[in-house]
Chain A
């Protein structure tokens, strides 16, 4: 087994996911199955192949430095669960 349950719990914490005990079991075995499959790919010799960083072959898509305008404050805050004084309001940090 490559992935232990503890790692699944750690990744879930980093991703802010709340998993039930059964889910932890399921994901541990599923992640291991995925990694096993990767092992198969590792059997191939890719030493002479350039790494692929992106699925499309384009490079350098850029825009000029022009201000295009933004959303009005009201629209920006529309989905905010809580707000005050033009800001998103969140539980106190620090």
Chain B
């Protein structure tokens, strides 16, 4: 039987506020355990949470950037459950009356064009603490530094139909968060986390199949792999005449499988109720409009501007603006070396390839825009050939050295001296009388062979145009 897949995503994005959502503890990552917590974080008797205005502002920014409706009145609620990372026994979240509803994002689809993916809701909540597990001993350790760090939970409609679309949606959402400068989007460190609800149903069926919730996917690649696995697993279950069980499954990247989660209480009986410690939140139209005015350029706008301002193809602009860091990289490079298409070629080709091999993002590129611009300058003034530049580029990326330094160290300066090139050409021709014969008898293809031989003889340093010219003269 043919099946179709239905995926909905829940994203948790940590906000880049200085302090936590309900208290003045620092929200930064990486401090000594239990040094960023206070009676509010841990729910000590007599403490009272007070909402961080900036966290609300950030939430409104995302709502506006995703064309969502900003609720004029919203509430905080307690989500009750017991787990050691939750010191109060409840998480302050939003349930009824969330801050924002009914937005959407657009993602490119394989068949061409864009697909609109609905955003059901965006709400604010506090993060839980962090647990560490002892491999050898029967203990877990709890650090409450993360408790109370502001989060946005962004819930999509079940509009996604392939793992690739799910990854594209996540990329797009992360890009927007980064453009808004409200979340750093670091999946490895957990400041951008994703859970997926996955189900399959026979093609054309109206009723949704039983879904599973897949967790623990901490990179885009893992999201695609985990979902691909889970869809196949569900197919096998159904084809084996069994039923999919509604459950939470954890992705195990080492084994490449999802496994039913054990241990954690599966009772989804959170007994939400409005938090009596927090008064309702009203958001005035005026506040929303002020924030709207201050919104930065968003990915799609920036893409449009790149096409217009730099006259690069839409495809290039799309690839480059998909990451704020990459787009910033590009603009800095163009500022230093104002040949936009040349810059985009190198970024989209060589830079992205090397970053991908290293599983790195543009923000952690070992090669700076300044280094790239300097190398492009050397090509332009004829110091090096475009071919040699490829080698230099990789060398710069790997060693962090400047292009000039590498050129000098390895003697890669382009040979533009006519006599020297002519000499190399003469030697090549002397060594290949048979090929000359064939060439003269009409095998024009061999011209490329001679060029290749000359380049080889000069270790790629000969100026290619000069080689062409001289060869043509000699062979005619």
Contacts and interface: CB of A to CB of B under 8 A. Distances in A.
Given A14-B80, A87-B143, A65 B17 contact: yes
Interface string A55-87: 110111111111111111100110000001111
A54 B280 contact: yes
A2 B264 CA distance: 30
A86 B33 CA distance: 6
A38 interface: no
A65 B142 contact: no
B132 interface: yes
B279 A64 contact: no
Contact of B25 (A60, A67, A73, A87): A67
A92 B52 contact: no
Contact of B138 (A60, A73, A91): A91
Contacts of A72: 35
A18 to B, nearest CB: 14
Interface in B280-324: 280-282
A15 to B, nearest CB: 8
Given A54-B279, A70-B37, A73-B34, A61 B53 contact: no
A53 B141 contact: no
A84 B19 contact: no
B279 A92 contact: no
Contacts of A94: 133, 140, 262-264
Given A14-B267, A72-B35, A76-B42, A63 B50 contact: yes
A63 B279 contact: no
B51 interface: yes
Contacts of A69: 24-25
Contact of A77 (B34, B75, B131): B34
A73 B82 CA distance: 23
B142 A60 contact: no
Interface residues of B, number: 53
Interface in B38-97: 38-39, 41-42, 50-56, 75, 80, 82-84
A65 B52 contact: yes
B404 to A, nearest CB: 44
Contacts of A92: 133-134, 137-140
Given A54-B279, A94-B133, A66 B19 contact: yes
Nearest to A16: B82
Contacts of A68: 19, 23-25
Contacts of B262: 94
Most buried by A among B55, B131, B137, B279: B279
Given A70-B26, A91-B139, A59 B282 contact: yes
Contacts of B473: none
A12 to B, nearest CB: 12
A61 B19 contact: no
B139 to A, nearest CB: 5
Contacts of B142: 87-90
21 contacts: A59-B279, A60-B282, A61-B50, A63-B51, A63-B53, A64-B52, A66-B24, A67-B19, A68-B19, A68-B25, A70-B26, A72-B35, A76-B42, A86-B33, A88-B84, A89-B140, A90-B139, A91-B139, A91-B140, A92-B139, A93-B133
The list of the 3 closest CB pairs from A to B, nearest first, reads A68-B24, A87-B141, A65-B54
Given A58-B279, A62-B52, A66-B24, 10 more contacts: A10-B269, A14-B267, A14-B269, A16-B82, A65-B18, A65-B19, A65-B52, A71-B39, A90-B84, A94-B140
